[in-house]
């Protein structure tokens, strides 16, 4: 009997990969920028891929979205204006909408086709796009950011990997523009690659950031569908420390709506194992 199961494999470094059983292909389009696919997987539900790389899935999206959002939102004293670069699936915007005092959430996503596909096939993630506080800008983040000075309280860079259309979001010039676009209490968080399987990228991102921001603190967890095992985000700010300033009572309230984040996790994810400390010190 022939096995007709479909499997999708994302390879890393041409030497390992993650493989997922597919129930159905839901969406496929080659946009101006990349190949956009959404498939229905057996274990992870609907999965978004850009140029064949897994971006998010229904089952594990909460980890990435909660961790990139609630760390900066819960240490800034009172953010009013937040910019998200990337986030075509809308998951970061959805998490920010939990804060009633945030007045303006701008999502700057380069590829409208990603947004439309996510609205249709990842509706739980993309729900925020329908909210009047969310302002979608279909634009290149590197161009968009350069218009602003001293404007945003928080900027979140929810980029894809440093290849393809997201490459410019890992460059020193871009980080400098992000710094300038932030207010005096400003905070930036970006996804900063895998400190396990993408160590050179992780190191280079941190090296670039410490030249620009006075406070740079990477934090780690795991996104099960990313091939890198350990994953990192980096907290950068002009003067706020990510652990000194946690709004504990609000953090506890936000945690009630979270599947991953809680006040203790907020601190624990900043603790780095020796191999990552050594990597950063090298």
* Cβ 148 vs Cβ 182: under 8 Å: no
Instruction: Give the nearest distance from C-beta 102 to its own copies in angstroms.
Output: 22
The single residue among 3, 4, 15, 200 that binds its own copies, judged by CB under 8 A, is: 15
Pairwise CA distance, residues 134 & 146, whole Å: 20
Query: Which residue is listed with tokens 């978004």?
Result: 48
* Contact call for residue 259 and its own copies (CB under 8 A): yes
Q: Which is nearer to its own copies, 196 or 233 (CB)?
A: 196
Q: Which is nearer to its own copies, 46 or 82 (CB)?
A: 46
Report which of 219, 217, 215 is spatially closest to residue 237, judged by C-alpha positions.
Answer: 215
Q: How many CA atoms lie within 13 A of 49 on its CB side?
A: 27
* Contact call for residue 252 and its own copies (CB under 8 A): no
Instruction: Give the nearest distance from C-beta 276 to its own copies in angstroms.
Output: 9
Q: Which is nearer to its own copies, 105 or 198 (CB)?
A: 198
* Other CB atoms within 10 A of residue 189 CB: 26
Of 27-35, 108-116, 210-218, 264-272, the segment contacting its own copies by CB under 8 A is 264-272
Q: Burial of 212 by CB count in 10 Å (0-12 exposed, 13-18 middle, 19+ buried)?
A: middle
* Contact call for residue 248 and its own copies (CB under 8 A): no
| Biggest distance spanned by C-alpha atoms of the chain | 66
* Contact call for residue 261 and its own copies (CB under 8 A): yes
* Contact call for residue 21 and its own copies (CB under 8 A): yes
Q: Which is nearer to its own copies, 20 or 202 (CB)?
A: 20
* Cβ 256 vs Cβ 236: under 8 Å: no
Query: Which residue is listed with tokens 């609000």?
Result: 250
* Contact call for residue 9 and its own copies (CB under 8 A): yes
* Contact call for residue 80 and its own copies (CB under 8 A): no
* Contact call for residue 271 and its own copies (CB under 8 A): yes
Q: Which is nearer to its own copies, 66 or 153 (CB)?
A: 66
Helices (H), 38-105: 61-73, 91-96
* Cβ 111 vs Cβ 32: under 8 Å: yes
* Contact call for residue 255 and its own copies (CB under 8 A): yes
What tokens were used for 133? 């506080």
Annotate each residue in 24-63 with x if it binds its own copies (CB under 8 A) or - if it does not, as one string. -----------------xxxx------------------x
């Amino acid at each position: 009997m022939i096995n007709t199961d479909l499997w999708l494999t994302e390879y890393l470094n041409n030497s390992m990969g993650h493989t997922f059983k597919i129930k159905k292909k839901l969406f496929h389009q080659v946009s101006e920028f990349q190949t956009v696919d959404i498939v229905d997987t057996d274990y992870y539900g609907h999965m978004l891929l850009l140029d064949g790389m897994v971006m998010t899935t229904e089952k594990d999206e909460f980890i990435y979205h909660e961790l990139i959002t609630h760390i900066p939102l819960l240490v800034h004293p009172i953010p009013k204006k937040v910019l998200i670069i990337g986030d075509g699936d809308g998951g970061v915007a959805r998490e920010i909408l939990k804060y009633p005092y945030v007045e303006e959430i701008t999502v700057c996503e380069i590829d409208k086709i990603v947004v439309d596909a996510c609205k249709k096939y990842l509706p739980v993630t993309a729900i925020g796009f329908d909210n009047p506080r969310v302002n979608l800008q279909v634009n290149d983040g590197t161009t968009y950011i350069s218009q602003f000075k001293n404007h945003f309280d928080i900027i979140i860079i929810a980029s894809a990997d440093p290849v393809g259309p997201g490459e410019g979001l890992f460059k020193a010039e871009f980080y400098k523009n992000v710094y300038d676009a932030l207010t005096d209490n400003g905070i930036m968080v970006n996804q900063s690659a895998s400190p396990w399987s993408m160590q050179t990228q992780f190191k280079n991102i941190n090296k670039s950031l410490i030249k620009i921001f006075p406070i740079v603190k990477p934090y780690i967890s795991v996104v099960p569908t990313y091939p890198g095992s350990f994953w990192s985000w980096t907290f950068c700010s002009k003067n706020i420390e990510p652990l000194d300033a946690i709004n504990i009572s609000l953090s506890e309230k936000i945690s009630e709506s979270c599947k991953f984040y809680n006040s203790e996790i907020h601190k624990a994810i900043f603790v780095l194992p020796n191999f990552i400390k050594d990597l950063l010190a090298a």
